[in-house]
Structure 1
Amino acid sequence: MNRRSFLVSSAGTLVLAPSGSLLAALAKDNSYRANIGIQLYTLRDALKNDAAGTLKKVAEAGYKQVELFGFPNCQPLIDGAKAAGLAINSAHFEWDSVINPKDDAMSDFKKIIDRAKELGLSQLVIPYLQDNVRKTLDDYKKIAVNANKAAALTKAAGIQLSYHNHAFEFQPKEGGKTGYDVFMADFSADMKFEVDVFWIKVGGHDPAELITKLSGRVSQLHLKDLKDGLKLPEYGTIPQDAFKELGNGIIPMEPIIEAAAKAGVKHCHVEQDFSPHPLESIKESVEYLAKL
């Protein structure tokens, strides 16, 4: 039996019923379910071998949109998604163009914005930070300054810039403060968060609670599940088998979807960083969402 808060009265046994807001969030026509996305990094090996064929299978599995990775140098993914009838709203891009820009004008990032505008993207996402740029809180403050500058550029182009978390941002540093604390305090109104619920949990926090705390500041979600039994929090490397299909781990998705609806989240994307059988995994995850 998968994790649900549904309770009904049956054979004299009382079980809890979902709230009205939760019913709306889980309804068959819920926008997240109706337009569920996939972060294509999940299928990176299959895409390398056969982008068009893999993306056709993504559409057949029931996904409606894809989030690109490696943008703008990912034309086979773009072509394959279009051929499969999959929408493309968001992309993880080459982050050094913002984190370590080659000039004050951020000329390389401006080229990425131009390409994103040509493609009709509404979202660009900073996907990662290399270890050498996130040693101290001052490092995070520098990143926030650059991100805010970049977000002003994307706003002018009609595109939202966001930051995608892992767990390392939640590791306490000077005075117990974390990098994510810096981002929450220093990001401008133009700069938003793409919340990865798996890494929030690994970092020792409750995803639904964080989404609620950041209401109005979360653009998108990554939905993935975490196996039971890990010692948390963990800010470094975790086993590859820790990544589970939705419904096969310890993260309840219902409160997350409800919190997302209240917080104004635009898109939800399934992601599973590692799986022995990625195509089978993404099918299982989308089927779980369909049965909620």
Structure 2
Amino acid sequence: MRSRILLFLTFLLSTTTHELFAQKGKPLFPQTPGMVSYTYRASFSKDPAATLDTLKSLGITDIEFSSLFRKTAAELRQMLDERGIKCSSFGVQYGDALEKTQEVGQNAKTLGAKFVRVAWVPHKGPFTLEMAQKTVEDFNTIGKKLKDEFGLTFCYHNHGYEFEKYEDGTLMDYIIQKTDPKYVSFELDVLWAFFPGGDPAGLLTKYPKRYKLMHMKDLRKGVEGNLSGGTPVTNDVALGTGQLDIPAILKAAKKSGIEHYYIEDESPSYATQVPQTMAYLKSLTY
């Protein structure tokens, strides 16, 4: 009887140890990421079809368009369908989202997108509470129209200047807390959360249900951030070679409501950095 118990305990211990080691090697980011068209903006401006062929050759089948590149939404949709690529998000300017909501909604639906995204609030000087209040009002208006009339989800993409201090947080917190969750969601640009001194993983943990999309990018080592919302495009580097803690961000993202992950690399070296980024993501394990 005693020997049987010892044998069972030995079996249990070996099985548990095996499972622990197996879990340790589990891929952190097993899926293929999407791509923001802005990464390939120079190429898209010259030949959208050939650029989509390049993305397909990389295995990318999910795209967020930041422009129509002098094509109609229907023309781009045909190119996407021919290659088995889906457009999940459509990025537009603030003014167009507010003043041309019908046109924006129709284009997004034609592209097949579920999300409409704005990435910049026009402003001069430091971002203020008054600006944030106007932004909240406009976003609620835009989001309601897009949801009610087109079934689309409106998202705001942070750009750094919103991290001005306000009360016990920032104006980014104010925008998230004051917008209506039924009509306004968010796209986390991890670089533009880190650059002004924010914590990308912390934002996902704090507001897990508000973030639906993510821009994955990294900041060159040695570069100091600020609240300007701008930095030279050459400061974008391949994931894993810069300052951001990408594994921590992805772990937080997995526990949140992120639906689409996009690579965004604004650097002129994107052609070499994108494959490097994809290889890095594939190499990550728990």
Relative to the length of structure 1, the TM-score reads: 0.80
Q: Secondary structure at the match of 2:180?
A: coil
Residue 162 (structure 1) aligned to one of 155, 165, 168:
155
Q: Does the CA-based 8 Å contact 2:64-2:89 persist in structure 1?
A: yes
Matching residue of 2:217 = 224
SS at match of 2:120: coil
Give distance in 2, aligned partners of 1:263 and 1:242.
28
Work out whether 1:274 is the aligned partner of 2:277: no
The SS at the match of 2:116 is strand
- Hey, what's the Cα distance between the residues in 1 that align with 2:230 and 2:108? 32
Identity in percent: 25
Choose the corresponding residue for 2:254, options 261, 282, 289.
261
Residue in 2 that maps onto 1:11? none
**CA distance in 2 between partners of 1:145 and 1:206 (Å):** 26
User: Does 1:90 pair with 2:64?
Assistant: no
Structure 1, gaps ≥5 residues long: 1-16, 102-107
Q: Distance in 2 between matches of 1:257 and 1:159?
A: 25
* CA distance, structure 2, for counterparts of residue 258 and residue 177 of structure 1: 23
Partner amino acid, structure 1, of 2:235: A
The match for 1:60 is 57
Unaligned stretches of 5+ residues in structure 2: 1-19
Deviation at 1:231, TM superposition (A): 2.2
Tell me the matched-pair count. Answer: 261
Deviation at 1:219, TM superposition (A): 0.8
Residue in 1 aligned with 2:188?
195
Aligned to 1:13: none
Counterpart residue number, 1:37: 34
Q: How does 1:25-174 map to 2 (within 5 A)?
A: 26=28, 28=30, 33-34=31-32, 36-70=33-67, 74-75=71-72, 77-99=76-98, 101=99, 108-132=100-124, 135-156=127-148, 157-172=150-165
Alignment check: 8 A CA contact 2:121 2:135 kept: no
SS in 2 for 1:268: strand
The answer on whether the counterparts of 1:66 and 1:89 sit within 8 Å (CA) in structure 2 is yes
Helix, strand or coil for the counterpart of 2:255? Answer: helix
The alpha-carbon deviation at position 71 of structure 1 amounts to: 5.0
Deviation at 1:115, TM superposition (A): 2.6
Instruction: Give yes or no for contact 1:162–1:194 (8 Å, CA) kept in 2.
Output: yes
- Give 1:282 deviation, angstroms: 1.6
SS of 1:89 mapped into structure 2: strand
RMSD: 2.6
Q: 1:241 offset after TM fit, Å?
A: 2.3
Letter of the structure 1 residue corresponding to residue 189 of structure 2: D
Query: Deviation of residue 120 (structure 1)?
Result: 2.4
Preserved CA contact (<8 Å) 2:77 2:110: no
Provide the TM-score with structure 2 as the length reference: 0.82
Q: Deviations over 1:8-44 (max 9, x none)?
A: xxxxxxxxx8996x9767163xxxx24x200010111
Match of 1:183 among 175, 186, 199: 175
Q: Distance in 1 between matches of 2:243 and 2:82?
A: 36
**C-alpha contact 1:71 1:91 (8 A) present in aligned 2:** no
CA distance in 1, matches of 2:101, 2:125: 18
